[in-house]
Amino acid sequence: MADDQPDLPFSKLTRALMANVRRAGFPPLYQQTVAQARQAYAAGVGAMGLPSVELPRVESFTIPGPAGDIPARLWANSHEHDLPVLLYLHGGGFVVGGIHTCDAMCRQVARLSGAAVLAIDYRLAPEHKFPAGLEDCVATLRWLVEQGHTRHLDASRLAVGGDSAGGTLAATLALMARDAHIPLKLQALFYPSVQVGVATDSFKTYASHTLLSAELMKWFEAHAHGGTAAERWHREPLLAPDHRGVAPAWIGLAQCDPLTDDGYQYADKLRAAGVPVTVQVWPGVIHDFINMGRLLPEATQAYEALASALRDAFGR
């Protein structure tokens, strides 16, 4: 992140947040080992994210996966049976993050929406190159369809969602669900990365002046690259040959984010294929703002917007 803040439309609170990060003097993630980066990211989310809210139902368990059991956690604001469910996939460039870094957000969304929210610790790179994490997501979706009733979940009311790399996974999963004839009510994507190596206008504007730098994105991609994806669009869902018939989309974006144009381009691609799309943009904030709720009120606004989209999709 550059030391200067040029004449860009950052909000006052966003400018203060980035100034505080600079003053703290922590090395950027891409200058750390993977283990250090994971600890640093978790610590950052812990310091900037909202405190966890108590919920009546929080369950930790495992789901059978292609390479062993997948850790999972379920949150709900009631013990009601046949709850609709959002499968939420955390961000972190396929390298960092986990259930622990999306816990506070998932609790808020479960509380506000009335739906159950399920998150998993999908396998991370570089120990497990992409598409290992995607394979875990596919296995989890199939488990929800076939075994979700064992957790009192309604398999007929499913949605997928995620932020950043998790948004990539969710977008790809929605396409794969369509191909597998698994009906989804919604795909909810926070600032997804839907293509690799394309210097969009938002990338050129913000990749040198925010926490998500060009160097960090390159570091993430270098660690994740090396696996064998069956199709290029599994990592770059913008390039899928056909987007017709995929689940309706809700796309949440930060204005001051290298990936903002990715979100707009994906929305345009879906609309051109006849897919209903809603895009909401939060002015003045940066990538990963949903994990900065102690400092940025827009995070809570985003939770409420997502919860509203889920209620509409699920007919609650």
Query: Phi and psi dihedrals of 37, rounded to 5?
Result: -65, -40
Which fold is adopted by the domain 12-314?
Answer: Rossmann fold (3.40.50)
Cis peptide bond upstream of 131, omega within 30? yes
Count the residues in the chain.
316
DSSP class per residue in the chain: --SS--S----HHHHHHHHHHHHHTPPPGGGS-HHHHHHHHHHHHHHHSPPPPP-SEEEEEEEEEBTEEEEEEEEESS--SSEEEEEEE--STTTS--HHHHHHHHHHHHHHHSSEEEEE----TTTS-TTHHHHHHHHHHHHHHHHGGGGTEEEEEEEEEEETHHHHHHHHHHHHHHHTT---SEEEEES---SSS---HHHHHHTTTSSS-HHHHHHHHHHHTTS--SSGGGT-GGG-S--TTPPPEEEEEEEE-TTHHHHHHHHHHHHHTT--EEEEEEEEEETTGGG-TTT-THHHHHHHHHHHHHHHHHT-
CA distances from 136 to 37, 73, 227, 268 (A): 22, 14, 14, 28
> When comparing pLDDT for 186 and 4, which is higher?
186
- What tokens were used for 150? 């064992």
Tens digits of residue pLDDT in 242-253: 999 999 999 999
Helix 34-48 to helix 99-113 angle (10° resolution) is 30
* Cβ atoms of 36 and 30 closer than 8 Å: no
Q: What percent of the chain has pLDDT over 70?
A: 98
Edge-first strand order for the sheet with 116-120 is 57-65, 68-76, 116-120, 83-89, 153-163, 186-190, 249-256, 277-286
Q: Is 268 a catalytic residue?
A: no
* Cβ atoms of 211 and 204 closer than 8 Å: no
Q: Is 287 a catalytic residue?
A: yes
| Active-site residue (options: 213, 261, 287, 288) | 287
- The pLDDT assigned to 5 comes to 62
Please, which pLDDT band fits residue 79 given cuts at 50, 70 and 90? Answer: very high
End-to-end CA distance of the chain: 42
- The pLDDT assigned to 252 comes to 98
Please, which pLDDT band fits residue 4 given cuts at 50, 70 and 90? Answer: low
| Active-site residue (options: 103, 136, 163, 257) | 257
Q: Which of 283, 282, 280, 244 is nearest to 264 (CA)?
A: 280
With 70 as the cut, is the pLDDT of residue 313 above it? yes
Instruction: Tell me the residue type at 49.
Output: G
Tens digits of residue pLDDT in 127-144: 999 999 999 999 999 999
Tens digits of residue pLDDT in 207-248: 998 999 999 999 999 999 888 888 999 999 999 999 999 999
- The pLDDT assigned to 226 comes to 84
Tens digits of residue pLDDT in 82-94: 999 999 999 999 9
Report the pLDDT averaged over residues 166-185. 98
Please, which pLDDT band fits residue 163 given cuts at 50, 70 and 90? Answer: very high
Mean pLDDT of the chain, nearest integer = 96
| Active-site residue (options: 164, 193, 202, 213) | 164
